[in-house]
């Protein structure tokens, strides 16, 4: 096997795939990257058996063949080579030699046969969605924050891709908050599957500025993301996601329109005094036109800030300030809407104009 | 079918490296096999391709040696939740939703619940052997489906598992007359399932359970081997749990010790912890006897109660049995229970456990349990399992024979009594969290007294 490629391109591809090639002690081959040249098509592959990253690398010249070598070592070696240098990788008897001008090193690899075969998407049965990379990125990042890392509840460690009312929505919850984003409208297919959050984070990390479209293909037990030269395959989480739409309260009688930046500011101020009480702050509405945020720290003192806005009904609710800030950071319009109806019902937040995104924060009871 | 697959795996294990075995084969199972076809279940789709290409020859050979078909071997990912991918089948969610929001049907026959109203919390005697479990039970009654969900209760027979869980059911029903509760021993669950399947009504079976607010499964350990009903139970479990419906399960051992139980299910059952009912201590036994006697409206002297408590070491059911025998005899003969005992006419049935004769016996049983010789155990070795065995011996000598720490030190061959004190404390502390250790010690005790 032989390839010749510029340092920049190789380094980028290696960095991209080597992220998941770590920490498997049981099967050391999983720490390796597989480089395969098949009819001048070069692919770099890593897997941790929950997901796999494949990067198709455009090269200037190549000879067919397969090698594997420790991914981290290779990535670090190449990234330290001078930029603009032509890098040549050749292999012989499981030994991989990398040469770039005066620099050269030989790495002992393992037989490529030991590298696991990857599952493939059954294209005939697949449900495929295509969308702009930016939409995808914004949508997924806005719900990822609400997903859980509690492994005892596997369903919550993923993002739920669910179609209803001809819309593809993504949702995540950790039991304390919930975020939903309507991602694609007018869809014909139906899916409800849970994609591991860790896999989606890899997808987000793989996105670079020059990418325009993402293609997502679902099978019953597998999902594939295609982004430019990169393919990410992941297993799905085998669990059922809670019927989350039931949690979103409708008909809230307290509806407040607020300036997002201003609410972020008063929440941050209140949070300073809320550290001793697990970040609990109180939001209160007073007629005719006051929305206030309060916090009390018994020894430290207290804080009270208010924002002038139209108020439909009086009421108050206790919230975790960190969760409120997370929610506000996930909203992106200048004007936002906060809705709730009592001390014990969840608080709903969304942008004023585009209401595709809904964030819910459960109240604290005290 | 399970056993055959175990054999196949055992054969494969010898042919591939341990790393390969644990990565690729450990979680496989035999899903079905007919004359020509065989379907093997795997963990996720990353495993299929690998088994198909790299290991197919080894699999074929092992199947062949076990007289299984090798013509068409296929692999499938075992999905507990059928995910929806373009499938247009009607999902039952709206229905479960409906039952959730409007549980206001008045005509609920409570006798459908399978509960026996004689079991209540009022006549369940709380002692140090069961106070944790009872505390959890009370919190379930106050807020079902929240903190202790699933509620996993385990303990030997006759210690009150059925009583406690039925009491929870009865109390929930009393407070929420509209609650849908079902109490069923796992054997009935299984029979019911088979019936439904035979009549082609598998779906109804699932729906019947989906509508429940609380499901109580008794004697769960009997699920052993019935893998189809296991799967069904797993689905029902997941559904109810997602809807925050209370699930209560009793068993005579921990899920991890039910050998053929699916690991995922075993894990889920103890999500909210496992609660055990232990053998009552002397004081607890007296309290139980007193309460039972009061309940029966019988008079019995304190000394008689203490006598029965001291001489019955098996379980609560036997304790009650002894009490009623003595009360019955005293009524027939016109003597008070104490007089009956004093003139020797009341012999406690000798199924009760005897005190062990010697400290040597305890040491021997512990050593045997851990596959050690007495000499090895008494050596100065710091190897973990030898050390643990030594500490368990110390613990048992102290609790069972009330030996002094100095004496114990000579018995197990350690330097001085502080080492013994440390050892005993270590085991005592570990017992609070380590259920496996607790069960091991119970098993050793069984061997000593058995």
- Among the three residues A92, A114, A136, which one is the final residue of a domain in this structure? A114
Topology of B359-449 in CATH?
A: Chromosomal Replication Initiator Protein Dnaa; Chain: A; (1.10.1750)
Fold of the domain spanning B2-77: GMP Synthetase; Chain A, domain 3 (3.30.300)
Could you tell me if A253 and A236 lie in one domain? no
Residue A84 lies in a domain: yes
Distance CA A59, CA A62 (A): 7
d(CA B115, CA B264): 29
In angstroms, the separation between the Cα of residue B34 and the nearest Cα of chain A is: 25
Domain B282-342 sits in CATH at 1.10.8.60
What are the residue ranges of CATH 1.10.1750.10 in chain B?
Answer: 359-449
Taking the C-alpha atoms of residue A177 and residue A320, their distance in angstroms, rounded to an integer, is: 10
Residue at A297 is within a domain:
yes
Residue A366 has pLDDT above 70, yes or no: no
A121 in any annotated domain? no
DSSP designation for B221: G
**Sheet bearing A2-6, strands edge to edge:** A61-63, A2-6, A86-92, A95-100, A103-108
Residue limits of CATH 1.10.8.60 in chain B: 282-342
| Residue B197, number of CB atoms within 10 A of its CB | 14
| Same domain? A220 vs A290 | no
Mean pLDDT of chain A: 89
For residue A251, CA distances in Å to A208, A248, A291, A340 come to 41, 10, 19, 9
**Are B178 and B172 contacting, i.e. CB atoms less than 8 angstroms apart?**
no
Domain boundary among A114, A143, A173: A114
For residue B217, how many other CB atoms are within 10 A of its CB? Answer: 24
Q: How many structural domains are present in chain A?
A: 3
Instruction: Tell me where in chain B the CATH 3.30.300.180 domain(s) lie.
Output: 2-77
**Domain B112-277, CATH 3.40.50.300 — does that match?**
yes
Residues A134 and A237 in one domain: yes
Best mutation target among A240, A246, A249 (most B Cβ atoms within 10 Å) is: A240
Residues of A within 8 A of B19 (CB-CB) are 26-28
**Chain A positions in Cβ-Cβ contact with residue B49 (cut-off 8 Å):** 116-120
A357-361 and A177-185 beta bridge pairing: antiparallel
Instruction: Mark whether A137 and A204 lie in a shared domain.
Output: yes
Query: Quick check: is A119 in a domain?
Result: no
Rounded CA-CA distance A162/A83 in Å is 45
User: Do A173 and A92 share a structural domain?
Assistant: no
Q: Which of A114, A146, A168 is the last residue of a domain?
A: A114
Statement: residue A87 has pLDDT above 80: yes
Distance CA A148, CA A237 (A): 13
Residue A79 lies in a domain: yes
A134 and A235 both lie in a single domain: yes
**Any domain includes A340:** yes
Per residue in A177-236, pLDDT (tens digit) is: 999 999 998 888 889 999 999 999 999 999 988 889 999 999 888 999 999 889 999 999
Residue of B nearest to A47 (CA): B46
Whether residue A148 sits in one domain with residue A87: no
Instruction: Give the residue ranges of chain B where pLDDT is below 50.
Output: 87-110, 349-354
For A92, the domain range is: 2-114
Supply the pLDDT for residue A45. 95
For residue B209, count other CB atoms closer than 10 A to its CB. 23
B323 vs B330: CA distance, rounded Å: 11
- Side-chain-side CA neighbours of A123 within 13 Å: the count stands at 1
Q: Are residues A35 and A54 in the same domain?
A: yes
Kindly state whether residue A95 falls inside one of the protein's structural domains. Answer: yes
Is A122 a domain residue? no
A242 vs B78, B80, B242: nearest CB: B242
Report field, pTM of the whole predicted structure over 0.90: no
Are A132 and A150 in a shared domain?
Answer: yes
pLDDT at residue B95, rounded to an integer: 31
- The CATH number covering residue A173 comes to 3.10.150.10
Nearest CA-CA distance, residue A328 and chain B, Å: 28
- Of all residues in chain A, the percent with pLDDT exceeding 90 is 50
CA A137-A140-A143 angle, to 5 degrees, is 145
A20-37 pLDDT per residue, tens? 987 666 788 899 999 999
Same domain, A261 and A194: no
Check CB contact under 8 Å for A118 and B85: no
- Statement to judge: residues A208 and A167 lie in one domain: yes
Residue A164 pairs with which residues in a beta bridge? A167
Residues B294, B138: contact at Cβ < 8 Å? no
Angle of the B302-311 helix axis to the B282-296 helix axis, nearest 10: 130
- In chain B, CATH 3.40.50.300 sits at 112-277
């Amino acid at each position: 096997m032989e390839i010749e490629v510029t340092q920049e391109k190789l380094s980028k591809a290696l960095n991209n795939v080597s992220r998941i090639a770590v920490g498997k002690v049981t099967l050391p081959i999983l720490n390796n990257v597989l480089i395969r040249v098949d009819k001048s098509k070069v692919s770099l592959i890593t897997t941790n058996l929950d997901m796999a990253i494949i990067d198709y690398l455009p090269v200037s010249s190549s000879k067919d063949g397969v090698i594997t070598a420790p991914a981290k070592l290779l990535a670090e070696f190449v990234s330290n080579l001078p930029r603009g240098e032509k890098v040549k990788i050749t292999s012989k008897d499981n030994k991989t030699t990398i040469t770039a001008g005066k620099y050269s090193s030989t790495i002992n690899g393992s037989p490529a046969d030991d590298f696991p075969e990857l599952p493939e998407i059954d294209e005939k049965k697949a449900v495929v969605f295509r969308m702009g990379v930016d939409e995808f990125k914004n949508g997924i990042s806005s719900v990822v924050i609400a997903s859980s890392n509690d492994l005892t509840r596997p369903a919550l460690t993923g993002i739920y891709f669910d179609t209803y009312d001809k819309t593809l929505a993504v949702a995540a919850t950790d039991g304390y908050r919930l975020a939903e984003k309507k991602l694609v409208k007018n869809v014909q297919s139906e899916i409800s599957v849970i994609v591991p959050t860790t896999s989606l984070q890899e997808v987000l990390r793989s996105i670079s500025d020059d990418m325009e479209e993402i293609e997502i293909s679902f099978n019953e037990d597998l999902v594939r993301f295609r982004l430019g030269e990169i393919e990410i395959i992941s297993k799905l989480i085998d669990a059922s996601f809670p019927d989350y739409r039931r949690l979103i309260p409708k008909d809230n009688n307290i509806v407040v329109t607020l300036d997002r930046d201003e609410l972020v500011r008063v929440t941050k101020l209140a949070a300073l005094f809320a550290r001793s009480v697990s970040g609990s702050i109180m939001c209160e509405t007073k007629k005719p036109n006051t929305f206030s945020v309060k916090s009390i720290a018994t020894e430290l003192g207290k804080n009270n800030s208010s924002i002038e806005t139209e108020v439909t009904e009086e009421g108050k609710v206790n919230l975790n300030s960190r969760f409120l800030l997370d929610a506000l950071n996930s909203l992106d319009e200048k004007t936002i809407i906060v809705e709730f109806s009592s001390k014990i019902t969840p608080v709903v937040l969304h942008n004023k104009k585009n209401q595709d995104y809904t964030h819910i924060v459960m109240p604290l009871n005290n | 079918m399970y056993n055959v697959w175990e054999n196949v795996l055992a054969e494969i294990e010898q042919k591939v490296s341990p790393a390969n075995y644990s990565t690729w084969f450990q979680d496989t199972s035999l899903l079905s096999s007919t004359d020509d076809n065989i379907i093997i279940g795997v963990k996720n789709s990353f495993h299929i391709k690998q088994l198909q290409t790299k290991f197919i020859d080894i699999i074929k050979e092992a199947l062949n040696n076990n007289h299984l078909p090798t013509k068409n071997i296929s692999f499938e990912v075992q999905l507990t939740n059928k995910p929806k991918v373009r499938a247009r089948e009607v999902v039952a969610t709206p229905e479960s939703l409906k039952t959730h929001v409007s549980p206001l049907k008045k005509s609920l026959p409570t006798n459908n619940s399978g509960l026996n109203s004689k079991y209540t919390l009022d006549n369940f005697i709380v002692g140090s052997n069961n106070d944790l479990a009872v505390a959890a039970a009370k919190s379930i009654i106050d807020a079902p489906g929240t903190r202790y969900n699933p509620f996993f209760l385990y303990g030997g027979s006759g210690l009150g598992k059925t009583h406690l869980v039925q009491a929870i059911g009865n109390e929930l029903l009393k407070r929420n007359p509209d609650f849908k509760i079902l109490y069923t021993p796992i054997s009935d669950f299984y029979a019911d399932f088979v019936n439904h399947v035979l009549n082609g009504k598998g779906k109804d079976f699932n729906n019947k359970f989906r509508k429940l607010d609380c499901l109580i499964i008794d004697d769960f350990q009997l699920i052993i081997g019935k893998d189809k009903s296991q799967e069904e139970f797993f689905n029902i479990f997941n559904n109810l749990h997602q809807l925050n419906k209370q699930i209560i399960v009793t068993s005579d051992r921990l899920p991890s010790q039910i050998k053929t139980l699916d690991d995922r299910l075993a894990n889920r059952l103890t999500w909210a912890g496992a609660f055990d009912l232990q053998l009552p201590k002397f004081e607890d036994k007296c309290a139980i006897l007193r309460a039972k006697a009061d309940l029966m409206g019988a008079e019995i002297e304190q000394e008689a109660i203490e006598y029965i408590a001291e001489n019955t070491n098996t379980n609560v059911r036997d304790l009650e049995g002894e009490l009623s025998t003595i009360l019955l005899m005293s009524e027939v003969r016109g003597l008070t229970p104490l007089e009956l005992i004093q003139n020797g006419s009341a012999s406690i049935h000798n199924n009760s456990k005897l005190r062990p004769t010697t400290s040597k016996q305890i040491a021997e049983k512990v050593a045997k349990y851990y596959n050690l010789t007495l000499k090895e155990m008494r050596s100065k070795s710091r190897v973990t399992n030898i050390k643990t065995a030594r500490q368990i011996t110390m613990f048992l000598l102290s609790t069972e024979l009330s030996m002094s720490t100095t004496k114990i030190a000579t018995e197990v061959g350690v330097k001085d009594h502080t080492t013994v004190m440390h050892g005993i404390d270590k085991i005592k502390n570990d017992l609070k969290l380590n259920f496996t250790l607790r069960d091991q010690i119970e098993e050793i005790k069984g061997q000593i007294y058995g």
